[in-house]
Amino acid sequence: MDDTHLSLVTKESPFRLCVYREKEEVLVDIVTLDKTRKINRLYNRTITHNDMETLGRQIHNGMGLILDYTV
């Protein structure tokens, strides 16, 4: 997870990972930052650790993230 976050920072991506724990589950939110480095949009909430492993592999392999959401 740390490597994935560092990769986003190094590549100057506006996306960031917010990691937290609820009960026994580690969850991740994917957010974007504005120009002042404050969270301006939440794209995906409560990603499980297993989901994050898959996303991490995609980021490290240069595939990026595909976010599917309804406006």
3-state secondary structure 12-46: CCCEEEEEEEECCEEEEEEEEECCCCCEEEEEEEE
Which pair of structure tokens corresponds to residue 27?
A: 């969850």
Could you report the per-residue pLDDT of 43-69, keeping only the tens digit for each? 766 777 777 777 777 777 776 655 555
Q: Is pLDDT at 40 greater than 70 in this prediction?
A: yes
37 has a pLDDT exceeding 50 = yes
Q: Note the pLDDT tens digit of each residue in 1-34.
A: 677 778 888 888 888 888 888 888 777 788 889 9
